[in-house]
Structures are given as structure tokens and as C-alpha cells.
Amino acid sequence: MNHTGGYVADPRIRAIEWLPWAIALLCYFVAPTYLPLGSYVLTMIIFALSLDLILGYGGIITLGHSAYFGTGAYAAGILAARLTGEPLIGLLAGTLAAGLLGLITGLIILRTRGLALLMLTLAITSLCFEVANKATSWTGGADGLGGFTIQPILGLFKFDFLGKTAYVYCLVVLFACWWLVRRLVYSPFGASLTGVRENNVRMHAAGAPVYRRLVIAYTISAALAGLAGALLTQTTQFVGLKVLGFELSGELMVMLILGGFGRIYGAFVGPLVFLVAQDYLAKQFPEYWYFGIGAMLVLVVMFARGGILGIIDAIIARLRRTQS
């Protein structure tokens, strides 16, 4: 289940790695009325993957990743409202805008570590939030940006209100992102990121330009987050200020840690479990679902460090031991 990369790890795709895709496709046919939730889950998986790259592999703890998600979302939204609703150009715009912001802010914040870095990410997100809140003529401010239309994908597939096109669109984009992230994780660059996370000091002593490498990783991660944001904009045809809120960053981090970080598929399992649980609890106990989510987090920390995939690993390991 582990995808730690490195020079001995086998990069070939294992049979079980097709399971998520099989499930996702199955959902399309079996649960057509759940597709809007499904699209959201797929989008958040991309977002979580981008965080996994810097948090799970690079060891950077951030509460500000929504800055990039939101930038991507607004870039795609503003583009659609002012220039063109062509979806692929929108995705590209979101990715580039967020990547650029990631590069600039990364150059600044990655000079620090620990609490200072955490607070800088938080402050930058809050600043972006205020900018979007104030630039009402561009962003719609607290009311959000809506009223734009997204053209059919490749001129062929129109976004329908049941969310079928959106779901497939998200799935295809996620697949591409997954493939890229997976390549990156198994590459020498991914290995060196793991090195930075595991031991920053030793990485310096091994002659690695740690700062520059983190900036690059951060930029890639920000670009991916922007891609996810642009995807959200296009599938919901609306951008709300919430995409820039630090609450979203917190929620994202919770999802990733819940799934298990630094292992690619934690970013799949976490958002799925969190959002489905939230969806379910919010319907059963709309006033109190927060309690259930909170209790789940506390229990995970108390009894299941390493997240859900960590538990599964432990169970498998135990089974193997009792067999032998």
C-alpha cells in the first residue's frame, strides 16, 4: 500500500491501484444521482494530492493551501466571465495563476519553518481572501462570482444539470493528475523530497539545494491545487469566497491526514471518507454532524496514527504474522 518512491521501489502500477478507478466508473452507472457529490470528492482528491506532495512527501505543514485552490478557482471564473468559457483554457489559466502565486509565495515562506511557516501560509491565505473580498468588480466579493457559462468540453460534451459530464470530466482530470503525481513521487525528484521530509539536515549535508527544491515542489503543488480550484469553478459554475478560506485548508489537511499522508492513496481515501461521512451525518443530524466528524478525528489520532491506510497496513501486517 505504500508509495514512498526511492531507488529500489518498483514504479509499476500494481493491480490494486486500478481499484479506485473501477469504483469510480462503477459509481457512474450504479449511483447516477450521487454524481454531484462524486465530482466534489474527485476535485478534493486532486486538491489533497497536491497537498500530499508537499506535506506528505516534502514535510511542509501548511494551513494556507486554499490560497492556491482559490486563486485557480477565481482565475477560471474570471476568465469564463470576461473572456471565454472554454473549459480547457480555464483549467490551464487556473493552473498557471496558482503556480505563479505558489512560486512567488514559496520563495518567501520557505525560508522559514515550523510555526512561522504555518502562520505565514495562514496569513497569505487570509490576505488573498481579503483581496478577493474587496475586489468586488472582479470577484463579486462576499456574494461570489456566478452567472458565467462554461462551454461544452472540446465543443462536444455539454455540462448537464445532473452533473454527468462534470463527473466524467473530473475523473479524467484526476486520472491525469494521479498519473503525474505518481511519476513525480517515483522519480529522483520525489525521492529527494522524501529525503527533505525525513531529514532536512542530512539533505543539506548531502549537498542538496533544499530550499530551491522545496520551492519547485511547492510551485508544482500550488499549480495542482489551482487546477482543482478551476475544476470546482467549472463544475459548479460558481466561485464563492469560501474557496480562499483557511477553514478549507484545515479541512483539507484533516482529510489528508485522515486518509494517511505520504502514500498517494491517502489523498483518495481521506476526502472520500470525510465527505461521504459529512454528507451522511449532515442528513441524519444536520445540527450536530460536527460532533461525529470531531470524534472521528480524535479517535484516529488516539488509536490509528497513520490514518485509515495506516490501519489497513497494520491489519494486513498482523494477518501476515499470524499466517506465518
Partner 1 sequence: MRLKTSSLLAALALAAISGLAAAQTVKIGIITTYSGPGSAQGDQLDKGFKLYLKLNAGKLPPGVKVEPVFRDDTGANADAAKRLAQELIAREKVQFLTGVVWTPNAAAIAPLTAEAKVPFVSANAAGVSIPRISPYFARVSFTLWQSAYPLGQWAAKKFKRAYTVVSDFSPGHEAEEAFTKGFKEAGGEIVGSARVPMTATDFVPYMQRVKDAKPEVIFAFNPAGKQATAQMKAYADLDLNKAGIKYIGTGDITTDEELQNMGDAALGVMTVHHYSAAADRSANKAFVAAYKKEYGEKLNPGFMVVGAWDAMEMIFHAIREQNGKIDPDRTMQLIKNYKNPNSPRGPIQIDPETRDIMQNEYLREVRKVGGQLANVELETLGTLLKDPWKEFNKPK
Partner 2 sequence: MSPALETQSLCKSFGALTVASEINFRLEPGARHALIGPNGAGKTTFVNMLTGRIPPTSGRILIGGEDITALGQAARVKRGLGRTFQINTLFQNVAVVDNVAFAVAEREGIAWRMFRPARSYRGVLDESMALLDTLGLAADARLTVAGLPYGKQRLVEIAIALGLKPSVLLLDEPAAGVPSLESHRILEVLDALPKDIAILIIEHDMDLVFRFAQRITVLTQGTVLVEGTPAEIAADHQVREVYLGERHA
Partner 3 sequence: MQDFLSSLVSVAFHGLAYGMILYVISVGLSVTMGLMGFVNLAHGVFAMAGGYVMLSAMNSYGVSFPIAVATAFIAVAVASMVLERLLYSRLYTAGELDQVLFTIGLIFMSVAIARLVYGTLPQPVRLPDYLTGQLHFLGRDFPAYRVFLILFSISIIGLLWFGVERTRWGAMVRAAVDYRAMAQSVGINTSRLFTLTFALGSGLAALGGALGAEIIAIQPTYPFEHLVFFLIVVAVGGLGSLRGPFVAALLIGVTDTACKYWVPEFGAFFIFSVTIAVLLWRPEGLFGRAA
- Which spans of this chain sit near partner 1 (rule: CB under 8 A)? 32-37, 40, 130, 133, 141-144, 146-147, 161-163, 232, 236-238, 240-242, 282-283, 286-287, 289-290
Q: Is residue 199 close enough to count as binding partner 2 by CB under 8 A?
A: yes
CB-neighbour burial class of residue 103 (10 A; exposed 0-12, middle 13-18, buried 19+)? middle
Q: How far apart (Å, rounded) are the C-alpha atoms in residues 255 and 300?
A: 12
- Is residue 10 close enough to count as binding partner 2 by CB under 8 A? yes
In this complex, which beta carbon is closest to partner 2, that of residue 208 or of residue 282?
208
Phi, psi at residue 239, to the nearest 5°?
A: -125, 120
What residue type is assigned to position 319 of the chain? L
Residues 6+ apart with CB under 8 A from 288: none
CB of 313 to partner 1, least distance (A): 33
Among 19, 23, 83, 116, binds partner 3 (CB under 8 A): 116
- If the CB atoms of residues 28 and 238 are measured against partner 1, the closer one turns out to be 238
Minimum gap (Å) between residue 264 Cβ and partner 2: 14
List, in order, residues 6 or more apart from 188 with CB less than 8 Å away: 7
127 binds partner 3 (CB under 8 A): yes
Residue 286 touching partner 3 (CB under 8 A): no
**Cβ-based nearer residue to partner 3, 160 or 247:** 247
Whole-number Cα distances in Å, 164 to 34, 157, 167 = 10, 10, 5
194 membership: H or E segment, kind and range: helix 188-198
Instruction: Pick one of 16, 207, 321, 322: the residue that binds partner 2 (CB under 8 A).
Output: 207
| Cα–Cα dist 284/287, whole Å | 9
With beta carbons less than 8 A apart as the criterion, state whether 237 and 2 touch. no
313 touches partner 2 (CB under 8 A): no
Segment interacting with partner 3 (CB under 8 A) among 38-46, 113-121, 142-150, 316-324:
113-121
**Torsion 205-206-212-213 (CA) sign:** negative
Among 19, 32, 135, 187, binds partner 2 (CB under 8 A): 187
Query: Of 146 and 188, which has the nearer Cβ to partner 1?
Result: 146
Q: Which does 207 bind (CB under 5 to 8 A by kind): partner 1, partner 2, partner 3, none?
A: partner 2
Residue 83 DSSP code: T
Instruction: Give the one residue of 114, 155, 207, 286 binding partner 3; rule: CB under 8 A.
Output: 114
The stretch among 34-42, 104-112, 203-211, 292-300 that binds partner 2 (CB under 8 A) is: 203-211
DSSP state of 11: -
Amino acid, single-letter form, for residue 218: Y
- Pick from 283, 293, 300, 263: nearest CA to 48: 263
- Cell numbers of 192, please? 529527494
- If binding means CB under 8 A, how many residues of this protein chain bind partner 3? 43
CB of 296 to partner 3, least distance (A): 7
Helix-helix angle 188-198:164-186, to 10 degrees: 80
- Cβ 247 to partner 1 shortest distance, Å: 9
- Closest contact distance (angstroms) between CB of 13 and partner 2 is 11
- C-alpha torsion angle, residues 107, 111, 112, 118 (rounded to 10): 10
179 contacts which partner out of partner 3, partner 2, partner 1, none, CB within 5 to 8 A by kind? none
| 156 lines the binding site for partner 3 (CB under 8 A) | no
Binding mask 189-218 for partner 3 (x = CB under 8 A): ------------------------------
